[in-house]
Every structure is written in C-alpha cells, then in structure tokens.
C-alpha cells in the first residue's frame, strides 16, 4: 500500500504532495566574510499508517552526501527505534533514541552511492528482528522490540532531497505457542490460547502445524525469531518446551508462561518469571482468557 497522507510536524520548508516529500537546499548566509549554508533544524513528517510488523519501502534522491532519512518507531522499552540513513553518523543505522542515540547496527556511508540518482530503501521488521536494505543489499540488522505505531520520518540535507514512493506492507504479527502435544493441552490451545490470540490480532502457530521438509528444530528457531512473543505451557516437565523457553529468553523474546495450579512447584530457573496460573474449570478458563488478553494488549 502506498502511503500518501503525511503531516509536517517539524520544520517549515518541506513540500508534501500525495506522499512525495521534497526540500530544497538551505540558503547561503554570510559569516565572517564567508558564505556558508544556513544551519536548520531537522524536518519531521507523520503519516496516517499504523505499523508494527512487515515491510516498508521508499525511494530517495539527493545532491548532497550530508543527508539523513530516519524512520521512527515506538518500542516496548519506551525508546524510539530509528532505522535509515544517519546524517550525523554518516552511515546506515538501526538504533535507539534521537537526542541520545545508541547504535545497534551501523554500516557503510551514503558517500558510496551516486548523487542525483534514485535509490531504493527497504525496512523489514519481523518479530524481534529488523533489517535495512539499500538497492536490495542488506546493510544493517538487529534485534528490536517494536510496538504498533504511526510511521514517522525525520530527515534533513545540506542539498536538495526528495523522498517518494513510500509503501508499507503489514504482516500479521505472530505468537508462537510451545506446549506438550497431548489431549489435555490440545484443548487448552484450541479453546483458549488460539481464539484469544487471534482476537487480539495475532497469527497463532505451534510446532505441530509445520509441514516442511526442513528439520523441525530449524522451523522452531525461525518461528521464535519471527514471532512477537511466545506463549509456553509449563505444567508438565517437557524438555522440548523448556529448551524453547530458554532460547526465547536468550534472544530477549517476550514470553508468557501458563501453568495449571495443580503443579506444586516451578523449576528454579523460571520460578522468578511472571506466570499465569489457571484452573482447569470453566471459571478458571474465563480467568486465564482475561489475563491473556491483557498480556497480549501490552506487547502489541
């Protein structure tokens, strides 16, 4: 979908027409008997498109290497996620914050590319990973924790700059469920977990739904990486379930633990993690549904 509606919320000289954003070169001013380009504050525009998971593409053209184009996203730790071309760092970046920027991944420089030429950029966010491409070459990738937010762009240049053909493809975020595959837990999955996650706007999958020729552990690891969060049922001592929880924690994946109250004691390694305890009754079912809804709302 092409994004055509933008509002200018910072700066005054940008021209916006049907999603085509353009700024001219700053004026020359005389300082100490020398002419220099005037210093100006960055521009920022905000779209009407909500985004959390998927692909954003845009094209740009500039006649100055001193140019920055940064896409801004909200994160679960209340920091801005920044992806794009950094003017101040002279490179392609994924990072956190603006006034106090922390790079998570940095590569290359705009000076390696031709001026006055059209360049295609792509931002891909799937689950807890973000990637940034220019002209179909992957330059930056990093683990991230993005929340649904309106697409905003911050930009500036010491020359002319055009940003256009801005497109976004939203992909439904995924919840990966790990649990023992027996009748009791199949019913919990079908009657509670799957309906609640789908109502919250997520795609709900678990390992027994894979139909590929690749090794199952590879599919599981990729699914954990691509998912927004993990739901794990930990009532029985199942080695596969605990392996998958361990991997999820290792990559800082939000993990929701479920446990039947009939279990007397949790394993020491996960006893400090917040767990949703439930009773296998109608009242217990209703209670875990409400708790699960709240958890999912907080991570979306």
Q: What is the pLDDT of residues 88-147, one digit of tens each?
A: 999 999 999 888 889 999 999 999 999 999 999 999 998 888 999 999 999 999 988 888
Whether 155 and 163 have beta carbons less than 8 Å apart is answered as yes
Give the C-alpha separation, 227 to 174, whole Å: 5
- Note the pLDDT of residue 208: 66
- Note the pLDDT of residue 280: 75
Residue 211 pLDDT more than 50? Answer: no
Residue 59 pLDDT more than 90? Answer: yes
Mean pLDDT within 230-253: 88
Helix, strand, coil percent content, the chain, rounded in steps of 5: 20, 45, 35
Residue 238 pLDDT more than 90? Answer: no
Helix (H) or strand (E) holding 183: helix 183-188
Give the C-alpha separation, 29 to 8, whole Å: 25
What is the β-pairing status of strands 54-62 and 43-51?
unpaired
Give this prediction's pTM. 0.81
Give the pLDDT band (50/70/90) at residue 288.
confident
Residue closest to 161 by CA, chosen among 122, 119, 111: 119
Residue 156 pLDDT more than 90? Answer: yes
Distance of CA 11 to the CA centre of its chain: 27
Give the C-alpha separation, 21 to 46, whole Å: 12
In the chain, % of residues over pLDDT 90: 47
- Note the pLDDT of residue 180: 87
- Note the pLDDT of residue 300: 66
DSSP 187-243: HHIIIIIHHHHHHTT-EEEEGGG---SS-HHHHHHHHHHHSSEEEEE-SS--HHHHH
Angstrom CA distances, 55 to 124, 128, 156, 165, stand at 5, 14, 23, 13
Give the pLDDT band (50/70/90) at residue 299.
confident
Give the pLDDT band (50/70/90) at residue 16.
very high
Contacts of residue 207, defined as CB under 8 A and 6 or more positions apart, other chains included, come to 178, 216, 219, 220, 223
Residue 268 pLDDT more than 80? Answer: no
Mean pLDDT within 270-296: 79
Distance of CA 225 to the CA centre of its chain: 12
Residue closest to 21 by CA, chosen among 118, 163, 168, 165: 163
Q: What is the pLDDT of residues 248-261, one digit of tens each?
A: 888 888 888 998 88
The structural domains of the chain, with segments of one domain joined by +, span: 6-170, 174-299
Q: Can you count the helices (H) and strands (E) in the chain?
A: 5, 21
Instruction: Select the CATH number that applies to the domain covering 174-299 from these four: 3.40.50.450, 3.40.50.150, 3.30.70.60, 3.30.1360.10.
Output: 3.40.50.450
Residue closest to 86 by CA, chosen among 58, 73, 105: 105
Q: What is the pLDDT of residues 133-149, one digit of tens each?
A: 999 999 999 988 888 88
Q: What is the pLDDT of residues 191-208, one digit of tens each?
A: 899 999 999 889 998 876
Superfamily of domain 6-170: Exo-inulinase; domain 1 (2.60.120.560)
- Note the pLDDT of residue 283: 66
Give the C-alpha separation, 39 to 199, whole Å: 49
Q: What is the mean pLDDT of the chain?
A: 87
Residue closest to 150 by CA, chosen among 56, 255, 230: 56
Give the pLDDT band (50/70/90) at residue 212.
very low
Q: What is the pLDDT of residues 38-52, one digit of tens each?
A: 678 899 999 999 998
Least confident of 1-5, 51-55, 150-154, 217-221: 217-221
């Amino acid at each position: 979908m092409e994004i055509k509606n933008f509002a200018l919320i910072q700066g005054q000289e940008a021209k916006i027409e049907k999603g085509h954003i353009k700024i001219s070169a700053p004026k020359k001013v005389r300082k100490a008997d020398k002419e220099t380009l005037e210093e100006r504050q960055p521009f920022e525009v905000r779209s009407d498109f909500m985004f959390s998971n998927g692909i954003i593409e845009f094209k740009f053209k500039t006649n100055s290497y001193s140019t920055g184009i940064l896409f801004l996203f909200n994160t679960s730790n209340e920091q801005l996620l920044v992806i794009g071309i950094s003017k101040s760092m002279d490179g392609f970046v994924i990072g956190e914050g603006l006034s106090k920027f922390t790079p998570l991944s940095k590569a290359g420089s705009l000076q390696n590319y031709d001026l006055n030429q059209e360049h295609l950029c792509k931002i891909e966010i799937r689950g807890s990973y973000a990637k940034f491409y220019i002209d179909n070459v992957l330059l930056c990738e990093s683990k991230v924790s993005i929340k649904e937010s309106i697409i905003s762009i911050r930009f500036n240049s010491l020359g002319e700059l055009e940003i256009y053909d801005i497109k976004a493809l939203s992909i439904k975020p995924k919840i990966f469920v790990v649990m023992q595959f027996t009748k009791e837990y199949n019913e919990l999955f079908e009657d509670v977990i799957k309906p609640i996650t789908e109502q919250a706007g997520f795609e709900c999958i678990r390992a027994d739904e894979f139909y590929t020729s690749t090794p199952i552990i590879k599919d599981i690891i990729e699914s954990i990486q691509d998912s927004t969060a993990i739901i794990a049922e930990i009532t029985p001592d199942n080695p596969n379930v605990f392996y998958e929880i361990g991997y999820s924690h290792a990559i800082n994946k939000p993990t929701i633990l479920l446990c039947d109250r009939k279990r007397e004691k949790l394993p020491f390694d996960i006893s400090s993690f917040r767990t949703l305890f439930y009773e296998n009754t109608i009242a217990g079912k209703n209670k875990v549904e409400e708790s699960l809804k709240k958890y999912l709302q907080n991570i979306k």
